């Protein structure tokens, strides 16, 4: 994949009103979006049907005023399950993430226990959705399985992920996490990794990255990035080319005394035919501050090329071609 042009600084990330909360002036930013968003938020099923009949591509449109949510996200956030069911039946894509890389499940669960019914309905009716949020049983199971895979792939005991980091994320995410200062280098690094697996990039940035971060970002994208805006931009770029968080972390090496961590990672996505084979990230971490100070990132995203059997339809040794007549 060709590289993006070199830039000498971060692409600015402009903050917007969070999703569709009202502004200080009392205006609801969702009213600045396409009419289907207000219909989804209020659960107006007839209006949703009419708007989709008039313009079918409204189904997965994103609202720039509300952090890039889709109509089905708006309905789920507002706890309008009938609207969620209607949009789902029309073929709404529940794998789309908003501009913070939040999934529909993350956005729904963030509203509180009152919304767990909607979240569970989405999970039950969309098997294509990878459940990564540990507030749901499926998310807990998935995160524990990913943790075990990562741990088993690492031979060096000092570099293995600390089980206590997994446990507090599984039990207390996102509201009751331990203090971010006074941690080990390993704890900072592995919390960063697990929060990325969960899909909570904003929380990862707040807890684990220095506001004075410096980052070299090369490969598919070439950038020199700075501060929290820089890591936000790097995450946006990553998620623009890799649709899921199914990374395969290979053999991280943690050097606690010097504060360095280097990891190799890959990505294999058969659904979207995408792969990364050369992912390498290096971190300089201040454990006392609990922050990543410097980061070097390299990866190239390629489309998978499937090799068709050149002898398809021909009988092999001791075999008969299925199409051959007796």
User: What average pLDDT score do residues 69-77 get?
Assistant: 98
Token pair 């058969």: residue: 270
Among candidate residues 125, 148, 171, the one where a domain is terminated: 125
Q: What is the pLDDT of residue 85?
A: 99
* Separation in Å, CA 309 to CA 167, 306, 312, 313: 46, 9, 5, 9
Q: Give 244's pLDDT tier (boundaries 50, 70, 90).
A: confident
Residue 325 belongs to some domain of the structure: no
How many other CB atoms sit within 10 Å of the CB of residue 188? 24
Q: What is the pLDDT of residue 27?
A: 74
Residue 19 belongs to some domain of the structure: no
117 & 157 share domain:
no
How many angstroms from the chain centroid is the CA of residue 269? 14
Residue 202 belongs to some domain of the structure: yes
Q: What is the percentage of the chain residues whose pLDDT exceeds 70?
A: 86
Among candidate residues 103, 125, 147, the one where a domain is terminated: 125
209 & 106 share domain:
no
Number of domains composing the chain: 2
Average pLDDT, the chain: 88
Instruction: Check residues 41 and 310 and name the one with the higher pLDDT.
Output: 41
pLDDT tens per residue across span 133-163: 999 999 999 999 999 999 998 999 999 999 9
pLDDT tens per residue across span 45-67: 999 999 999 999 999 999 999 99
Write the CB contacts of 144 (distance below 8 Å, at least 6 apart in sequence).
166, 170
Q: Is the pLDDT of residue 6 over 80?
A: no
82 & 168 share domain:
no
Across 91-100, 170-179, 231-240, 299-308, least confident range = 299-308
CA atoms of 172 and 175, how far apart (whole Å): 6
CA atoms of 230 and 212, how far apart (whole Å): 10
Residue 222, domain extent: 137-303
DSSP H/E element including 77? helix 71-77
Q: Is the pLDDT of residue 315 over 70?
A: no
Q: Is the pLDDT of residue 169 over 90?
A: yes
Show contacts of 1-7: CB within 8 Å, 24+ apart.
1/220, 1/241, 1/300, 1/301, 1/302, 1/303, 3/219, 3/220, 3/221, 3/222, 4/220, 4/221, 4/222, 4/223, 4/237, 5/222, 6/222, 6/223, 7/222, 7/223, 7/224
192 & 117 share domain:
no
Among candidate residues 74, 93, 125, the one where a domain is terminated: 125
195 & 298 share domain:
yes
CA atoms of 161 and 261, how far apart (whole Å): 12
Token pair 């499940």: residue: 105
Residue 271 belongs to some domain of the structure: yes
Residue 7 belongs to some domain of the structure: no
pLDDT tens per residue across span 247-295: 888 889 999 999 999 999 999 998 889 999 999 999 999 999 999 999 9
User: What average pLDDT score do residues 109-115 get?
Assistant: 97
Q: What is the pLDDT of residue 18?
A: 42
DSSP letters for 156-211: -GGGSPPHHHHHHHHHHTTTSPPPSSS--HHHHHHHHHHHHHHT-HHHHHHHHEEE
pTM summary value: 0.81
CA atoms of 106 and 185, how far apart (whole Å): 28
179 & 273 share domain:
yes
Q: What is the pLDDT of residue 264?
A: 94
């Amino acid at each position: 994949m060709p590289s993006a042009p070199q830039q000498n600084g971060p692409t600015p990330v402009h903050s917007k009103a969070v999703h569709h909360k009202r502004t200080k002036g009392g205006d609801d930013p969702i009213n600045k979006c396409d009419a289907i968003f207000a219909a989804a938020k209020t659960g107006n099923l007839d209006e949703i049907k009419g708007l989709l009949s008039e313009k079918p591509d409204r189904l997965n449109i994103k609202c720039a005023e509300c952090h890039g949510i889709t109509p089905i996200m708006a309905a789920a956030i507002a706890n309008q399950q009938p609207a969620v069911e209607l949009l789902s039946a029309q073929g709404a894509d529940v794998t789309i993430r908003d501009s913070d890389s939040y999934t529909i499940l993350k956005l729904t669960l963030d509203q509180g226990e009152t919304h767990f019914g909607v979240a569970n309905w989405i999970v039950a009716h969309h098997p294509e959705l990878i459940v990564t949020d540990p507030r749901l049983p499926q998310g807990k199971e998935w995160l524990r399985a990913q943790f075990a895979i990562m741990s088993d792939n690492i031979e060096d005991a000092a570099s293995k992920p600390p089980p206590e980091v997994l446990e507090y994320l599984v039990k207390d995410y996102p509201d009751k996490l331990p203090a971010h200062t006074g941690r080990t280098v390993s704890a900072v690094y592995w919390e960063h990794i697990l929060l990325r697996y969960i899909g909570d990039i904003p929380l990862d940035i707040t807890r684990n990255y220095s506001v004075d971060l410096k980052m070299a970002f090369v490969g598919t994208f070439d950038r020199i990035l700075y501060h929290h805006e820089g890591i936000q931009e790097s995450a946006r770029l990553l998620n623009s080319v890799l649709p899921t968080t199914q990374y395969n972390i290979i053999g991280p090496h943690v050097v606690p005394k010097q504060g360095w961590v280097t990891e190799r990672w890959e990505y294999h996505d058969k659904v979207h035919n995408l792969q990364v084979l050369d992912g390498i990230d290096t971190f300089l971490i201040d454990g006392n501050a609990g922050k990543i100070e410097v980061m070097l990132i390299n990866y190239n995203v390629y489309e998978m090329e499937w090799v068709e059997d050149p002898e398809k339809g021909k009988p092999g040794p001791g075999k008969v071609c299925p199409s051959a007549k007796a």
